[in-house]
A and B are shown apart, each in its own frame.
Chain A
Amino acid sequence: MIVERPEIEDFLYREARLLDTQKFEEWFNLFTDDAIYWVPAGRDDIDPSRHVSIIHDDKTAMAKRIKRLRSGFAYAQDPQSRVHRLISNVELGAADDVDQTIEVSCMMLLIELSRHRQTLHSARCEFTLDRSSGDWRLRRKKVNLLRNGEVLENTPFLI
């Protein structure tokens, strides 16, 4: 499978921009039906069936999370957080020719503003990208927050 680095970078930038601009439905549609959106707690390498996570959503849970954010009653997002994501250090990992998938990692600097408070998150993100249906889609998004073992301020936005 031939994968061009710029197409992967474009995909990651787009994923970040969709979240920054609150295009949650478009973001949701980037994911395959069996996708997992995961933010581990405590450390990066936990087993999510034995250890608690900050977020561990399948697609059903993601849909519920977005529905809540759109409900008009998600008070922790009234007004919505403003978020900027910087994506860097993109590295292409192993590709699977049969599944048409590739592992990708990058660094993310996420700056969030809410309640007049600016919160900084640094994370190493891991993605499994899937091209089996033609376009690139996300089968897995894992966000390893630098502060995943710390006491977190309110985090009602999509990371």
Chain B
Amino acid sequence: MHPPINNLITRDAIHRSVYADKDIFDLEMERIFEKTWVFIGHSEEIREEGDYKTTYIGRHPIIVSRLADGGITALINRCRHRGPIVCQHELGNSKHFRCPYHSWTYNNAGRLIGVPMPQGYGRSFDKNALGLAKVPRVAQYQGFIFGCMSEDGPTLEEYLGGITKFLDAYVATSPTGKIELFEGMQKAGYNGNWKYQLENGVDPYHVGSLHASSVTQEAMLIYYQGAGCVIAMDGHGVTDHTDWGPMPVDAGLSGGFNLVIFPNLVVLRSQIRTIRPIAVDRTEIYTRVVKLQNVPEEVNLRRLRDQEFEFGAAGTFYTDDIEIFERTQEGLQSGAVDWLVFARGLDREEMRNGYMTGNMSDETQHRGMYQNWKKWMTGDASSSSAIGAE
């Protein structure tokens, strides 16, 4: 049994149950993944009319489709009759989805358009009321598509806050202002909590240590001598190296910024990483590789080869990250000490441009994300359950 949610995050420490308690995970699925804006794809993945991709919002299987009018819709991938998923492909193009069980058929806007032998259901049967359930809100910013399972709450732009400026800068790396994606994905799984990836995506402090086998001296200079900073930005995390110049087109380690957009998106260098929480101790990571427009082909190819070498399930950097995520989950089985230390930089962080900002190796950005976590986990009294914020 974990302590009340309110007591799990202090000014400088986090309780281990945040990572290790199954009930907390269940609450996260409800209070975070069904309330916040969750990243569900990039517009380049569904460029043409009828294009779709399947993904997840928390535990909900989702189909994201490009409609005839150019708009985007996100549907719950679950037949309204008996419940099978109606689409089992990762990507594709289709104007309708048919559940093979009893051939109930929906168009890609979710409307139920075909039911065999409908007379058997009697007069009260209303096909209009039996379309695929819709994700209540879908919005995009700079091509990044988000879905929100709640009708209420901030708009996407309000939710992203200052991060919009960084997403603007990210796509501006491409000379046309638009990014593309290489085909395919890097997919990796680990036996550990999903939030390790949130922390790790904006954690300059670990780079020289955990990645000692791979990081170059040149890159380490950024971390030790750079004028960059870490920022707690509207509940999201930023490491900003921009004093070293804008995001470099070669996506090298020596510039740019890392973004962790709560709760499931990591944008850094040439990658867009989606976090899929499966269980308190199981997470999957899906990574797309970003291609720039109007740059020499060898520039894009270098980005791809570097990304493959360093990231993904066989990457020289990422394998050590996954390793430490699994070791952490093992270590946190021990309740001998309940608290993890998140105090780095507390004495030297300061407000800059309206955001709490720390030195390059500080943990200001982590503290900001966990205050956000606490806000969502305690914020909605209507969804409190037996194990709620007692």
Residue positions of A touching B, CB distance < 8 A = 39, 41-42, 46, 49-57, 61, 64-65, 68-69, 71-77, 115, 149-156, 159
Q: Do the beta carbons of B187 and A68 come within 8 Å of each other? A: no
Among A51, A57, A76, A149, which residue has its beta carbon within 8 angstroms of that of B323?
Answer: A76
Q: Do the beta carbons of A55 and B212 come within 8 Å of each other? A: no
Interface size on B, residues (CB 8 A): 32
Taken together as a complex, chains A and B put the C-alpha atoms of A75 and B297 apart, in Å, by 34
Given the interface pairs A74-B320, A76-B320, A76-B323, the reply to whether A52 lies near B309 with Cβ below 8 Å is no
Residues in B whose Cβ lies below 8 Å from that of A53: 184, 308
Q: Do the beta carbons of B183 and A51 come within 8 Å of each other? A: yes
A81 CB to nearest chain B CB (Å): 11
Among A49, A54, A73, which residue has its beta carbon within 8 angstroms of that of B301?
Answer: A49
Residues in A whose Cβ lies below 8 Å from that of B182: 50-52
Taken together as a complex, chains A and B put the C-alpha atoms of A65 and B284 apart, in Å, by 24
Q: Do the beta carbons of A39 and B183 come within 8 Å of each other? A: no
Residue positions of B touching A, CB distance < 8 A = 182-190, 210, 212-214, 284, 289, 297, 301, 304-305, 307-309, 312-314, 316, 319-320, 322-324, 326
Taken together as a complex, chains A and B put the C-alpha atoms of A15 and B24 apart, in Å, by 48
Beyond A41-B184, A54-B314, A154-B323, 18 extra complex contacts between A and B, CB < 8 Å: A41-B185, A41-B187, A41-B312, A42-B183, A46-B183, A52-B183, A52-B308, A57-B309, A68-B214, A68-B316, A71-B212, A75-B210, A77-B319, A150-B187, A152-B313, A153-B189, A154-B319, A159-B314
Taken together as a complex, chains A and B put the C-alpha atoms of A149 and B186 apart, in Å, by 9
Residues in B whose Cβ lies below 8 Å from that of A39: 314
Q: Which of B297, B307, B314, B319 has the most CB of A within 10 A?
A: B314
Q: Do the beta carbons of A152 and B187 come within 8 Å of each other? A: yes
Q: Do the beta carbons of B184 and A55 come within 8 Å of each other? A: no
Taken together as a complex, chains A and B put the C-alpha atoms of A54 and B187 apart, in Å, by 9
Given the interface pairs A76-B320, A154-B322, the reply to whether A42 lies near B313 with Cβ below 8 Å is no
A149 CB to nearest chain B CB (Å): 8
Given the interface pairs A153-B189, A155-B319, the reply to whether A115 lies near B314 with Cβ below 8 Å is no
B49 CB to nearest chain A CB (Å): 22
Among B190, B304, B314, B326, which residue has its beta carbon within 8 angstroms of that of A55?
Answer: B314
Q: Which of B289, B308, B312, B322 has the most CB of A within 10 A?
A: B308
Residues in A whose Cβ lies below 8 Å from that of B210: 75
Q: Do the beta carbons of A75 and B308 come within 8 Å of each other? A: no
Question: In chain A, what residue has the closest Cβ to B321?
Answer: A76
Residues in A whose Cβ lies below 8 Å from that of B184: 41-42, 46, 51-53
